[in-house]
Chain A
């Protein structure tokens, strides 16, 4: 080619311009995504938090392409979603999806296998261990993110088929204290009221909850309610200033682990000033202590509270004395007070007591039963209520959330399940002794050779204990040594420890029922097929049932259609619990399929619309036929806590012990943990969504500016946060609105040196066995100046073959 000097100059100029302007000379048309074309919208619930927003997923061909809110919803009214939920469908088609069963070979490498190979191995191991080490040597660890049908199936398989109560789940790590709180205070698990109480309330007490980030849709309902009704008073009590505090009329700071003093302090103020409801206390309250067996007097209660003067409370908690009085006044003198709490009260050394104390405040002020008044425990996971608590898929429960130790109920379930005939356990019965709770289970899990570890195998689904157990270093070895089967959609830390990994179907690929915080069960329809060979949990349970000789017990085991399997499991479940106060007998599968609002239990028959408010005649159908449920309710009782003898809720005398890990000279800071709006749990899903992960692509440690200045730590510096159990290396975020001496680390990062559970305290509540994630004693040391952090760390398929976590 002939190039004159002129042409050369021109070409050079053009070429450099082209590079600068980013012109690709090989420009093949990149199709601009125009308006997304949706062929059909499929009804369902959001995969994430316990709010239970209902949605429609948009489908084109066999792909999810969009999501929108259900405008008829009773939970996310007007169909609002949060940015996390709006994008969660994107994980379905992510390339990292597990699509084939994997079996770990002798060299520690996970190799693809067929379902038959994987299931045969599982069958072999289960049968071997049952024989060698007993029926309690094989456990199931479930999740509040599995569907109700799946949890019910596995629970029945274990408790009815194997005669083993070695069934527990991750709600043990989040809701167990709330469960025990409800059971001991009111006699029955789960809230009396519903979200509808938000718009009817006059005072809202938000405590132990970062509502704005953990339940953003409910936060919007609260803030909108306040905007439309400026007289509504909102109290926020928390250990660090969060966005939630912006809506507060009264902000009560409280050092982590100390707020029991505040609740007792508020009660003292309420009683001293005569702001309590004498009549309500007389007819519907009962003073007690300890396990609730011995009744005490009102005077005993008043005397017990004397210690909790505002000055005492201020000294203990850091909450100003005047605020205790103001809070008491706002709480007691409103026409309707609604309390909402979550992990801040549950994940505590005395979480059950914290729950009891909130119930106390409501009982003494008569704040149940009427519109806008309730002690409402928010659930973190989308199906901890429906799938685990209500089906009784915990070590000490049976369906209907009744204790396995309750002989009458146990015998009923044995009969209903025909355990006598179908169980493969020679006892031919449900074991009356509770199994192991989560922390105990994983402490007892280990290899065959380890005689100190009686549990040799565990199968778990939709949960990640190798990242979420407190003091997690203690449990990783056991998981690696035992025969561990992990069902999941993505590689996780737990899958990294597994002997067998089974690829799972995502909620929109299998369908099923989720029951949210407000007792509302909602059915998600299957929208698309699962990728590769991924299967629904219920199918996996069915195969195990068949192989273990329990096809008759699990009547749906031979079905091939997942929807049919789900329906049969659901029918079995609602039949089993039809005569409990949690009855969903009226929520037939057909009704759930057609409904755009779901069904709130108790719902005893198809005509019943579902129950907004429990324990109130005219609203709660239990009143119409109490005998059916084993209760006695006086005919003239308008309000009655029928699950408790004489219908009286318990006012508990509780102390404020210092059972959390205490700070010391060596470990002078209190570390508290929590979440951020944009991430979910261990980040295996949300770290894979760039749009939302951009806000928080990795963990950090939030340090008060004054503390930071003392330690000469600047914004972005890399610091080591260390407890006696372990440490993390984290970038510092300097803030000026948290409490001095308190630091905060979120829970979502998978990177080994940013997994906060290496640090967390493994003290558990003595009643519920729920760990005290909220209080750990740590020290902070500067490691270096600011460094670039590679965010969105993900455990890969390759890393799953390594023994150590990077």
Chain B
């Protein structure tokens, strides 16, 4: 389970419109909000980073979203498995996947 905190910048006048969209993502929880400044703190719980990227892509594609940026990622049990050598991470692969297209 990977936990990720992210900051969501959005058009502050459209908070009400955006809310259902956020809620449609069951992996996403809203932890803090500063609606007047157009910012939300989200925590996303996903099985792996691929799922995380799909969510990021969806958010960035939404017109009401100005920016969606990761703050910190907690790899949870995956870290223990890593250290025990039960998982191999292919760094090359991650590199090529981590191409965030900016609008």
Contacts and interface: CB of A to CB of B under 8 A. Distances in A.
CB–CB under 8 A between A and B in the complex? yes
Contacts of B74: 9, 13
Interface stretch (A21-29, A482-490, A678-686): A21-29
Contacts of B41: 14, 17-18, 21, 23
Contacts of B3: 6, 9-10, 13
Given A13-B71, A17-B7, A17-B71, A27 B34 contact: yes
A25 B36 CA distance: 12
A10 B35 CA distance: 21
Interface residues of B, number: 23
Interface in B1-49: 1, 3-7, 29, 31-37, 39, 41-43, 45
Contacts of B35: 27
Instruction: Report whether over half of chain B's contact residues are helix, strand or loop; otherwise say mixed.
Output: strand
B61 interface: no
B85 interface: no
Instruction: Report whether over half of chain A's contact residues are helix, strand or loop; otherwise say mixed.
Output: helix
A11 interface: yes
Interface string A1-21: 000001001110110111011
A30 interface: yes
Contact of A27 (B1, B29, B36, B71): B36
Contacts, number: 61
B36 A16 contact: no
Contact of A11 (B6, B31, B39, B71): B31
Contact of B32 (A9, A23, A30): A23
Given A18-B31, A20-B71, A13 B4 contact: yes
A23 B37 contact: yes
Interface centre among A6, A11, A23 (most CB of B within 10 A): A23
A27 B76 CA distance: 32
Nearest to A10: B43
Given A16-B72, A20-B7, A21-B7, A10 B36 contact: no
Interface in B50-99: 71-72, 74, 76
Interface string A358-371: 00000000000000
Contact of B45 (A10, A17, A29): A10
B36 A13 contact: no
Interface in A13-52: 13-14, 16-18, 20-25, 27, 29-30
A21 B39 contact: yes
B1 to A, nearest CB: 8
B47 to A, nearest CB: 14
A24 B45 contact: no
Contacts of A22: 37, 39
Contacts of B5: 10, 13-14, 16-17
Contact of B34 (A13, A14, A16, A24): A24
Contact of A14 (B31, B36, B37, B76): B31
A167 B55 CA distance: 79
Nearest to B35: A27
A16 B51 CA distance: 23
A16 B32 contact: no
A606 B3 CA distance: 83
Interface centre among B29, B41, B74 (most CB of A within 10 A): B41
A465 to B, nearest CB: 48
Contacts of A27: 33-37
Contacts of A30: 36
Nearest to B12: A32
Nearest to A14: B31
B98 to A, nearest CB: 19
A13 B32 contact: no
A6 to B, nearest CB: 8
Nearest to B70: A17
B18 to A, nearest CB: 16
A11 B74 CA distance: 12
A25 B4 CA distance: 20
Given A10-B45, A14-B43, A21 B71 contact: yes
B46 to A, nearest CB: 12
Contacts of B37: 22-23, 27
A29 B34 CA distance: 9
Contacts of B42: 14
A203 to B, nearest CB: 55
A10 B3 CA distance: 7
Nearest to A26: B34
A25 B35 CA distance: 11
Contacts of A18: 31-32, 41
A426 to B, nearest CB: 73
Contacts of B4: 13
Contacts of A14: 5, 31-32, 41-43
A15 to B, nearest CB: 8
A404 to B, nearest CB: 66
A460 to B, nearest CB: 48
Contacts of A6: 1, 3
Q: Would you list the 5 A-B pairs with minimal beta carbon distance, nearest first?
A: A13-B5, A14-B31, A17-B71, A17-B5, A21-B7
22 contacts: A9-B3, A9-B76, A10-B5, A10-B31, A10-B45, A13-B43, A13-B71, A13-B72, A14-B43, A16-B72, A17-B5, A17-B6, A17-B32, A18-B41, A20-B7, A21-B7, A22-B39, A23-B37, A23-B41, A24-B34, A27-B37, A29-B36
Given A13-B43, A17-B32, A23-B34, 20 more contacts: A9-B3, A10-B3, A10-B43, A10-B45, A11-B31, A13-B5, A13-B74, A14-B5, A16-B5, A17-B41, A18-B31, A20-B71, A21-B71, A22-B37, A22-B39, A23-B32, A23-B37, A27-B33, A27-B37, A29-B36
